[in-house]
């Protein structure tokens, strides 16, 4: 689970990527993108109920060498993704403009 500082950084990354249309929202889209070998960062909400909906995502991310991070709230994740609905997970694609921001995650084990 991301601490407060990491949570703010991740949500800021999601917001920037959403403005540039570089985000896949929801379990179905994220799984489909992971199977197509899309690169990026997977952001998963930690307060999903039932938890079985997202338990396979970390395994898929590790299989495809995609970093993932858990954030505390699905409501905050949905708001950062510029939607009114809470979102269980998002895959942030790596555009050239977001590469520098993404490399800040290198010092933290995700």
pLDDT score at 102: 58
Find where tokens 């800040």 sit.
104
Q: Does the pTM of the predicted model rise above 0.75?
A: yes
pLDDT score at 110: 41
pLDDT score at 79: 94
Alpha carbon distance, N-terminus to C-terminus of the chain: 9
Please give the Cα distance from 65 to 8 (Å, whole number): 24
pLDDT score at 38: 87
pLDDT score at 97: 46
Please give the Cα distance from 14 to 26 (Å, whole number): 13
pLDDT < 70: residue spans in the chain? 95-110
Nearest to 19 by CA among 104, 92, 71: 92
pLDDT score at 104: 61
């Amino acid at each position: 689970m991301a601490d407060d500082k990491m949570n703010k950084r991740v949500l800021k990354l999601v917001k920037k990527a959403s403005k540039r249309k570089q985000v896949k929202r929801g379990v179905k889209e994220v799984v489909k993108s992971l199977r197509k070998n899309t690169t990026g960062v997977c952001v998963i909400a930690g307060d999903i109920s039932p938890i079985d909906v997202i338990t396979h995502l970390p395994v898929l991310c590790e299989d495809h060498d995609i970093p993932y991070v858990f954030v505390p709230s699905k409501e905050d994740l949905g708001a950062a993704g510029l939607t009114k609905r809470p979102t269980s997970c998002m895959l942030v694609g790596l555009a050239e403009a977001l590469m520098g921001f993404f490399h800040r995650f290198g010092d933290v084990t995700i």
